[in-house]
Amino acid sequence: MIKQENSSSYLFGGNAPYIEDLYEAYLENPGSVPENWRMYFDAMQHLPASDGSDSRDIAHSPVQASFAERARLGPICRVVASPDAELGRKRVSVQKLIAAYRNIGSRRADLDPLKRQERPALPDLEPSFYGFSDTDMDIVFNTSNTYFGSETMPLRELIGNLRETYCGTLGIEFMYITDQTGKRWWQAKFETIRAKPDFSPERKKHILERLTAAEGFERYLHTRFIGQKRFSLEGGDSFIPAMDEIIQRAGKAGVLEIVIGMAHRGRLNVLVNIMGKNPLDLFAEFEGKHAGDLPSGDVKYHQGFTSDIVTPGGPVNLSLAFNPSHLEIVNPVVEGAVKARQVRRSDRDGSQVLPILVHGDAAFAGQGVIMETLNLALTRGYGTGGTVHIVINNQIGFTTSDPRDSRSTTYCTDVVKMIEAPVLHVNGDDPEAVVLAAQMALDYRQAFKRDVVIDIICFRKLGHNEQDTPAMTQPLMYKNIDKHPGTRKLYADRLLSQGIIKANDAEAISKQFRKDLDEGRYSANPVLVNKTIFTAEPGPGRTETSETGVPLTELQRISEKITRIPENFRIHPLVEKVVNDRRRMGRGEHPLDWGMGEHLAFASLVAGGYPVRITGQDSGRGTFSHRHAVLHDQNREKWDSGIYIPLQNVTDNQAPFTVIDSVLSEEAVLGFEYGYSISAPDTLVIWEAQFGDFANGAQVLIDQFITSGEVKWGLASGLTLMLPHGYEGQGPEHSSARPERFLQLCAENNIQVCQPTTPAQIFHLLRRQMTAMALKPLVILTPKSLLRNKEAVSRLDELSEGHFRNIIGDPAADPKKITRLLACSGKIYYDLLNRRRENTMENAAVIRVEQLYPFPFEEFSAEIRRYPGLKEIVWCQDEPKNQGYWRFLQHYIMNAMIPGQQFGYAGRPASASTACGYAAMHALQQQALLDQAYGEFSVFYNK
């Protein structure tokens, strides 16, 4: 009964949580709240008395707005307690108790196999916290919002079910998921079976066999190859049954390819027991044997592998990505490789290609690339339909085992909450729970196409590697580990007590596995094994010819296509001018600028069947507003409409053109594009930095993958990096792409480093990247001011014939008059040219080195010999003397010189910074540089 009284109101703020809880319970089941409150909520929603039908309005806002309005008007009404009020309060408290177990039950779960600490006492999980006493335990409450099989049950039974479900050896975090369907999916999955598997005896025996393989493999290596590094999995053995379950279940669900990324721990175990690598091949590597087919090679626990494995749904291709010692850096590489394979299969939702990433606990919490990669998961250009993450949680990071030193979060997995990925925390000593977690994780990923995490809490039996003695820094932890009998032994004893195996069965399985290893028999069940290929093979179209011209008629045709705007599509006036200018360029009425040279390269490639993918932080428009590959209707009112991409409309049946404005990340995005490139060799894959030095944030990818992946692992990549570079007074962070760093990494024809200076050059260079026989990464130092420089232009016919020119000579120089040769690269060429014009110097020639590596030695030597009276060769550069190209090119130029010639340098002095930050100082330095070039330069070498 509701009365009006002039006293303090139940609707005031102090009671708001109580009322909100009542309302939540009412929404779940109107019959679960007292009649007076049910009548009140019905009235607030402007409905007749609730009859339990689904047609009632469930929005919170009308009720909340009403509460706010009543509180504003003052203490008008008071709900007088009825005899049912106390029961109503208890009903609400039951709902709170259920929510508490779902929210934080994992914190009370039995997760640590070392049992180093007592499980914490959490008041929110205790009945007394909600005012319940022993006399309430047999009261029957409504539990219709649970999945325990009954809509009502005594409080005692409900609490037992909640504890069994959420506080066993498998705990879950999922209540932060905002999608109610996904949230209820997990509630149903867990509560229906009380988070306990019901495996057949055969399945349990299979789990034991996989545990035996995991443990037996490590112990075999430990005794046969004493003291050698292998990054043992011992202590985390349940990981192998989990991987086996995911792969088999994925195959049954229709997955055709799985790409796996993991660091070192357990990697060799995965190679043999999951991937199907012949153990004899691995043993040969331990003995120091190798095929010798790679210039460099790599250690065995960095190696990748590819095989086809038998599953109930047919063969599944497994690819284990190569990974250096930079822990989690492989993650975006795997995601990119998966994306490329999905595109190749037209797998739009990720049902056919699955990424699995295996992490260490300390690295998962500590490495920034984790967050960057997770942030890609739900974006349009990078999403792969969800990733299954597995954390091998050793509870120790190298030597740090105290959580107060290893992270600032409750769990090492807390970062995944940013994308609402559910986390299954599971005790590694309960292999059945681990396998159940694997099943649920794979099912969730397939159903919702979202990331999911399995956190296998285990331990590390040996040290960081087998040459380490962890007890020096973790004596307490390793006392417990030394007493631990091993997961396989615990599980074997469990099956023995259940009567599933006999007394000698476990030992017989171990002996058989050791015999199989001795005889080199496969532990997994491969259909086809290929131990070297991780990349896809390049298709047709690559030839020995360097000719990259496109017929003039075709250039004119595609020019018309890429400058055609749909009717009623209003572009910005500035963009309209760009498009109109390009239309005239395509007709030969104006010389081509840089943006048009790019566009014609892209258009000719997609028209010829080559897909193009370009990504970066402003790639659609271009950082310097030169590209405008994506046009925006100025009348649009929605994000998902009013977009037109001319390069997607070049011709019928063209190859895809994809341009993506990436998230504000360098490391993860560049890693993704590298992974994409190795799995899509016939796609022009471009990553464009906003400024060239932004590549600094992805240096690990450049060092460990892009420049060395081929000599270490045999990975061929045609990834192209576009790095804006040029000294124009914009300060230290916006001048240099650090070309010296790339040149320092150049050897064995591993990459190409180019700095084109005309639209025709970028046109031919981009086309060469796709048509040349060799598949090599390409680093392009792209311009900034040259994008609009009136002299940095080309004629349309320069694109219809010829090729990329490694060296561009000086067409205006009279070879008989030249005594000084100024060699340079990039924007400074135009500065040198203007100074020569101003001073009418006829004795100096200016040549451009457009390809820095591989250095075109023969072409450079031939250019020198064009000038019979040449006495001086000067290398000119904008960059400081300790940076840029000077130190890298010295020996090439010196070897090309003729006796009697001098060689010197004109440029900025050595500097700790890439460039000065003061405009006036920049101008003075530039003036001095040009004075040196044509006047007194510092002689470095006389031949």
pLDDT at 677 over 90: yes
pLDDT at 5 over 50: no
Q: Which one, of 495, 651, 422, lies nearest residue 559 by Cα?
A: 651
Strands of 695-819, DSSP E: 720-724, 752-754, 778-782, 807-808
DSSP SS3 for 179: coil
Mean pLDDT of 901-905: 94
pLDDT at 72: 54
Residue whose entry in the numeric block shows the structure tokens 């994000």: 639
pLDDT at 23: 73
Structure tokens at 831: 């500065």
pLDDT at 64: 57
pLDDT at 86: 83
24 sits in which H/E element? helix 16-28
* Distances, alpha carbon 266 to alpha carbons 333, 359, 398, 464, 641, in Å: 20, 11, 15, 12, 48
Task: Kindly report, residue by residue over 491-536, the tens digit of the pLDDT.
Answer: 999 999 999 999 899 999 999 988 888 887 777 766 665 544 455 5
pLDDT at 862: 95
164 sits in which H/E element? helix 155-166
CA–CA dist 184, 175 (Å, integer) = 9
* Fold match, 201-530 / 552-728+736-798: yes
Output the CA torsion 117→120→121→125 (10° steps). Answer: -140
Phi, psi (5° rounding) for residue 713? -125, -5
Task: Kindly report, residue by residue over 529-553, the tens digit of the pLDDT.
Answer: 554 445 555 554 555 557 899 999 9
In this prediction, what percent of the chain has a pLDDT beyond 70?
A: 89
Length of the chain: 943
pLDDT at 901: 94
What CATH architecture is 552-728+736-798? 3-Layer(aba) Sandwich (3.40)
Q: What is the average pLDDT score of the chain?
A: 88
CA–CA dist 714, 305 (Å, integer) = 12
Mean pLDDT of 17-31: 69
Task: Kindly report, residue by residue over 71-90, the tens digit of the pLDDT.
Answer: 555 544 444 445 578 888 89
pLDDT at 752 over 80: yes
CA–CA dist 800, 796 (Å, integer) = 7
Structure tokens at 671: 């890693």
pLDDT band at 161 (very low <50, low <70, confident <90, very high): very high
Could you tell me if residue 398 is left (phi over 0), alpha (psi between -120 and 50 degrees) or otherwise beta?
left
Mean pLDDT of 660-686: 95
The widest CA-to-CA distance across the chain, in whole angstroms, is 113
Strand 612-616 relative to strand 526-530: parallel, antiparallel, unpaired? unpaired
pLDDT at 15: 52
pLDDT at 542: 57
CA–CA dist 329, 534 (Å, integer) = 17
CB 722 within 8 A of CB 756: no
Mean pLDDT of 617-626: 92
Could you tell me if residue 97 is left (phi over 0), alpha (psi between -120 and 50 degrees) or otherwise beta?
alpha
Task: Let me know the angle formed at the C-alpha of 767 by 766 and 772, rounded to the nearest 5 degrees.
Answer: 110
pLDDT at 4: 35
pLDDT at 544: 56
- Read off the amino acid at residue 583: R
Q: Which residues face 651 on adjacent strands?
A: none
pLDDT at 51: 46
2 sits in which H/E element? strand 2-4
Structure tokens at 771: 């048509």
Q: What is 810-942's CATH topology? A: Rossmann fold (3.40.50)
286 against 120, higher pLDDT:
120
pLDDT band at 371 (very low <50, low <70, confident <90, very high): very high
DSSP 565-619: --TT----HHHHHHHHHHHHHHTTSS-B-HHHHHHHHHHHHHHTT--EEEEETTT
Least confident of 133-137, 395-399, 594-598, 930-934: 395-399
pLDDT at 277 over 80: yes
CB 488 within 8 A of CB 509: no
Mean pLDDT of 16-44: 68
CA–CA dist 756, 878 (Å, integer) = 15
What CATH architecture is 201-530? 3-Layer(aba) Sandwich (3.40)
Task: Kindly report, residue by residue over 96-106, the tens digit of the pLDDT.
Answer: 999 999 999 99
Number of helices (H), then strands (E), in the chain: 30, 28
Number of C-beta neighbours around residue 890 at 10 A: 15
* Distances, alpha carbon 931 to alpha carbons 827, 832, 846, 876, 924, in Å: 17, 10, 15, 11, 11
pLDDT at 617: 92
Task: Kindly report, residue by residue over 425-450, the tens digit of the pLDDT.
Answer: 999 999 999 999 999 999 999 999 99
pLDDT at 7: 35
CA–CA dist 523, 273 (Å, integer) = 5
Residues 6+ apart with CB under 8 A from 568: none
Mean pLDDT of 456-475: 84
pLDDT at 695 over 70: yes
DSSP SS3 for 791: coil
DSSP SS3 for 192: helix
CA–CA dist 787, 59 (Å, integer) = 55
Least confident of 478-487, 514-523, 793-802, 863-872: 514-523
Mean pLDDT of 256-262: 95
Q: Which one, of 94, 77, 129, lies nearest residue 24 by Cα?
A: 94
DSSP conformation class of 391: E
Write out 728-739 in H/E/C secondary structure.
Answer: CCCCHHHCCCCH
CB 693 within 8 A of CB 549: no
pLDDT at 454: 98
DSSP conformation class of 706: I
Please report, for the chain, the start and end positions of each structural domain, with discontinuous segments joined by +: 2-145+155-193, 201-530, 552-728+736-798, 810-942
